[in-house]
Amino acid sequence: EKPAYAPECLDTSAKPRAPGVLNVHLVPHTHDDVGWLKTVDQYYIGSKQDIYKAGVQYILDTVTDYLLLNPDRKFTYVEMAFFKRWWD
């Protein structure tokens, strides 16, 4: 099943720059604290929702779905403890 998206968001082609116009680049990212309130594994699988609602594996799954739909999109990720669990 393809994720829902707005069709106009798929147009990532370069646009001519207009003089005097500020170009703003948004870089999608997420910030997932490793071991802040729960263990790394609890954050990753989404357990103990009463402490904090988070399931990091679902963030990475969803992001990759969208990136595969449009290879021109970019995403940054720095929490390697979560990324390793997801990648493995």
Joined together, the tokens standing for residue 40 give: 């790394």
Angle between helices 80-87 and 56-69 (to 10 degrees): 70
Residues in the chain: 88
Residue 71 pLDDT: 81
Residue 24 pLDDT: 79
Residue 86 pLDDT: 93
pLDDT in tens, 23-50: 777 777 788 888 888 898 998 988 888 8
- Please, which pLDDT band fits residue 74 given cuts at 50, 70 and 90? confident
Residue 84 pLDDT: 92
pTM: 0.64
Contacts of residue 67, defined as CB under 8 A and 6 or more positions apart, other chains included, come to: 73, 75
Determine the 3-state secondary structure of 53 from DSSP: coil
Cα-based angle 30, 59, 87 (whole degrees, multiple of 5): 100
Q: Above 60 in pLDDT, residue 4?
A: no
